[in-house]
Amino acid sequence: MRIILASSFVPFINGGYRFIVEWLEEKLTEYGHQVERFYLPFVDRAEDLFDQILSFRLIDLSASCDRLITFRPPAHVLPHPNKVVWFIHHIRTMYDLWDSPYRMVEDNPLGRAIRQRLFDLDTTTLMQSRRVFTNSRTVANRLLQFNGVSATPLYPPLSNPDRFRNDRYGDEILVVCRVEAHKRQLLLVEAMRHVKSAVKLRLCGTGMSTEYLAAIRRTIASDLGERVIFENSWISEDRKIELLASALAVAYLPMDEDSYGYPTLEAALSCKGAITTADSGGVLEFVQHGVNGIVAEPDAVSLADAMDRLYCDRALAARMGAMSMKRVEELQINWPRVVESLIA
């Protein structure tokens, strides 16, 4: 089958929103399909929101492939008779982040009309697809709530799940993801001031906000130099696998995330549990408190307590790790299921 994968992107910004596309591209090729991938530019911006969306709509791929698979909005507006949408989030500043400081336009009659227009065009174009899948139950619920569209959660697997391994349960709580305010690494660093055990924290990743990076460095330098390690770089897959293999557990506490997050899955495949927080959104579809991880409150003391618990009870850390691995099977997070669903 000739398949085109289409998503939107912001040039030079990497992250999970590209992995889901590129890993699927690899797998579909392995399954013998001809695959072509397009990233079209889109920025969350009010001034030319509809102009940008219209530029997607004007691209006609209907005669170019047997199947179109779309990901990040507004790629789903691309017209095609055999379109399948793997929806990873809405234009959130117009949807679920409306009642937040991030709202894209003013909450006045004009702003509300613009919002309704976006709802309508999203709903119309989503309805024009064969099937709509999402990366999580959280996002499927939002589609139903805002657009009345029923979607099926299809959890995205990692590219090479077999490469991960478990060597031991060491002393470090590991955090590997972009270093940004909404990922809350700073809160974990602050939590280290409250731990009672000798547990350590290792942060790996890069970020766009120099202020946030500086705040983390400052907090570590003040009194945590011995116990918090900050590798402020994009680490290789090999190094990540190595660090995960000897970690005690993983921490991943994004603010109201859309999906369970690749760090959670990487932890599971390395037989490690995850520490997260009650407001981390899609992560809670994977992490069950006391079973395969700890769901703490989003405050320093509660997180410190979670880290101490795992450090002082390695048997608990191992049990949670094993249950994490099992959770991957329970939720059917694997490529055969993904490929079968998307090309059916």
Point out which span in 53-61, 193-201, 237-245, 251-259 binds another protein (CB under 8 A).
53-61
Q: Are 52 and 42 in contact (CB under 8 A)?
A: yes
Q: How many Cβ atoms are within 10 Å of 124's Cβ, its own excluded?
A: 11
Please report how close the Cβ of residue 3 comes to another protein at its closest, in angstroms. Answer: 10
How far is 334 from 344, CA to CA, in rounded Å? 16
Could you say which of 51, 63, 210, 315 contacts another protein (CB under 8 A)?
Answer: 63
Could you say which of 1, 45, 48, 64 contacts another protein (CB under 8 A)?
Answer: 64
Closest CA to 205 of 172, 239, 171: 239
Nearer to another protein, 61 or 114 (CB): 61
- Binding residues with another protein: total (CB under 8 A): 25
Q: Which two tokens stand for residue 94?
A: 């117009």
Could you say which of 30, 60, 106, 107 contacts another protein (CB under 8 A)?
Answer: 60
Could you say which of 19, 31, 38, 119 contacts another protein (CB under 8 A)?
Answer: 38
Three-state SS for 7? strand
Edge-first strand order for the sheet with 172-176 is: 228-231, 200-204, 172-176, 249-251, 274-277, 293-296
Q: Counting contacts by CB under 8 A, is residue 132 touching another protein? A: no
Please report how close the Cβ of residue 342 comes to another protein at its closest, in angstroms. Answer: 18
Q: Counting contacts by CB under 8 A, is residue 65 touching another protein? A: yes
For the window 84-123, what string marks contact with another protein as x by the rule CB under 8 A? ------------------------------------xx--
Q: Which two tokens stand for residue 104?
A: 């894209």
Q: Counting contacts by CB under 8 A, is residue 140 touching another protein? A: no
Could you say which of 59, 229, 255, 301 contacts another protein (CB under 8 A)?
Answer: 59
Nearer to another protein, 2 or 112 (CB): 2
Nearer to another protein, 70 or 277 (CB): 70
> Following CA atoms 249, 253, 254, 258 in sequence, which dihedral angle do they give, to the nearest 10 degrees?
80
Edge-first strand order for the sheet with 152-153 is: 34-41, 2-9, 67-70, 83-87, 131-134, 152-153
Degrees, nearest 5: CA angle 244-175-92: 125
Q: Counting contacts by CB under 8 A, is residue 236 touching another protein? A: no
- What does the DSSP assignment read for 49-98? HHHHHHHHHT---TTT-SEEEE-STTGGGS--TTEEEEE----GGGTTTT
Please report how close the Cβ of residue 31 comes to another protein at its closest, in angstroms. Answer: 17
Could you say which of 46, 61, 215, 322 contacts another protein (CB under 8 A)?
Answer: 61
Nearer to another protein, 27 or 80 (CB): 80
Nearer to another protein, 12 or 110 (CB): 12
Nearer to another protein, 42 or 311 (CB): 42
Nearer to another protein, 61 or 316 (CB): 61
HSE of 229, CA atoms in CB hemisphere, 13 A: 14
Cα-based distances in Å from 310 to 158, 247, 252, 272, 313: 26, 11, 15, 11, 5
The amino acid sitting at 58 is L
Nearer to another protein, 8 or 292 (CB): 8
For the window 3-32, what string marks contact with another protein as x by the rule CB under 8 A? -x------xx--------------------
Residue 6 pairs in a beta bridge with 38, 70
Nearer to another protein, 36 or 297 (CB): 36
List residues binding another protein (CB under 8 A): 2, 4, 11-12, 34, 36, 38-41, 54, 57-65, 77, 120-121, 124-125
